[in-house]
Amino acid sequence: MTTVVRVAPSPTGFLQAGNGRASVLNALFAKKTGGKFMLRIDDTDPARSKKEYETAICEDLAWLGVAHDIFARSTDRTAIYHAAAERLKACGRLYPAYETADELERRRKRAAAQHKPPIYDRAALNLTAEDRAKLEAEGRKPHWRFKLSHKTVAWTDAIRGPVEIDTATQSDPVLIREDGSYLYTLPSVVDDIAFGITHIIRGEDHVTNTASQIELFEALEAAPPVFAHYALFIAPTGEKLSKRLGSLSLRALREAGIESMTLCSYLAKIGTSDAVEPHTSLDTLAQEFDFAKFGRALAKFDPDELVLLNGKLLHMLPYGAVAGRIPGDAAFWDAVKPNLTKLSDTETWAHIVNGPVTPVIEDRVLIAKAAELLPPEPWDETTWGTLTRAVSEATGVKGRALFHPLREALTGRGDGPELKKLLPLIGRERALARLNGETA
């Protein structure tokens, strides 16, 4: 049996980190099992769905390196959903209800006042044909609810283990709105059946509605897929992620300088027993994917950790991985990459190399002697050692008192890449000018 997994984002905004995590985990599982990954656009909310967000979803997944093997769009498949709805009506599992939103809210408040759970009371099942005709004559249009069995639904979750949910504790879910449009549940299950989805890997906020979905699979005479529900994100301090960090769209993270493989590595590893370390390909991440590694504790999403991980990834990349994206050659990359946290930092170091830089002269006597003893070109990585030894011997200055003033004069900064690698890139002409106190 070929493994088939899916994600079904709604085109109502940009993909968030949570959507990205679902996409990465599903794609990794498909890679590891030699299966297929499906992207299904859930545009079942006509008021909020926009084509530009669908385009953005595809762009963001492409940036992550997550390629889909199968693509579908809910609004292209309404005839299939209609057929499934008619089957459910015919077998008595889909029934019309006429309560307005205000009426339902009043019932919820009344139940809360009586310390009862806010479960739909199934009053619509008691309506006669005459009652329904009268309501429709008044202008009311029904929404349609799926009749749960009120039995315990059990399944073995690939992450959580055995799970049991009594559907008597749940309201019959609405599958079709008053205007005839579908909510997520029916299209999701119908498409999971049609496309042969074998595993549903998603956040644990879906655990409770899995029970009703399993009953819907069975009502449509299909075997449910394997479910795997992973723990959700929280902020490092424990509160909900959105309260501390606001929007964490993939687009915003990319614009902030996070590399795609940094994010994939982070999303694949947080919440698991593996160390969170950078990987340079989805293939290596896929080899390490294992449901047994996922813990039950909430996963802490820390942007500071993500930035540090981004630096670690950049430090391990060869020049070929960034060629064309930085303002320099292989020697420049080799010199500056240990000091990067994001690729755009290379602009700073390119400016240090090429100028103009205004030198900081801390010790005029020392710097004047360095200008006097500056070796002739050609320069290589031994030039810095040659210069500092000569200056130390001439002045008796050693350690930080020697190196720090030289760095400030040559780069205008007190920190940065190793000068043995940076100095040959600066070149003798610019270095001499800076040691003489000139902007160059």
Q: pLDDT digit string (tens) for 9-61?
A: 999 999 999 999 999 999 999 999 999 999 999 999 988 999 999 999 999 99
Go through 64-103 and write b for each residue having 16 or more CB atoms within 10 A of its CB, e for each that does not.
Answer: bebebeeebebeebeeebeebbeebeeeebbbbbbbeeee
Residue type, 177: R
CATH superfamily of 241-321: Glutamyl-trna Synthetase; Domain 2 (1.10.1160.10)
Residue 243 confidence (pLDDT): 40
d(Cα 233, Cα 306) in Å, to the nearest integer? Answer: 14
Q: Which CATH number fits domain 80-176: 3.90.800.10, 3.10.290.10, 3.40.605.10, 3.90.1330.10?
A: 3.90.800.10
CA 370-371-375 angle, 5° bins: 85
What's CA 339's distance to the chain center, in Å?
25
Q: Give the CATH fold of the 4-72+183-232 domain.
A: Rossmann fold (3.40.50)
Give the residues of the chain that fall short of pLDDT 70: 241-247
HSE at residue 338, side-chain half, CA atoms within 13 A, is: 10
**Strands, E assignment, 1-77:** 4-7, 36-41, 70-73
d(CA 125, CA 98): 11
For the chain, give every residue range classified as CATH 3.90.800.10. Answer: 80-176
Whole-number Å distance between alpha carbons of 165 and 210: 9
Identity of the residue numbered 256: A
Residue 231 sits at the vertex; the CA angle it makes with 289 and 7, to the nearest 5 degrees, is 65
CA 92 to chain centre: 41
- How many residues belong to the chain? 440
Q: Start-end ranges of CATH 1.10.10.350 in the chain?
A: 331-435
pLDDT recorded at residue 34:
97
| Annotation: CATH topology of 331-435 | Arc Repressor Mutant, subunit A (1.10.10)
Distance CA 358, CA 375 (A): 22
**Residue ranges, CATH 1.10.1160.10, the chain:** 241-321
pLDDT recorded at residue 242: 56
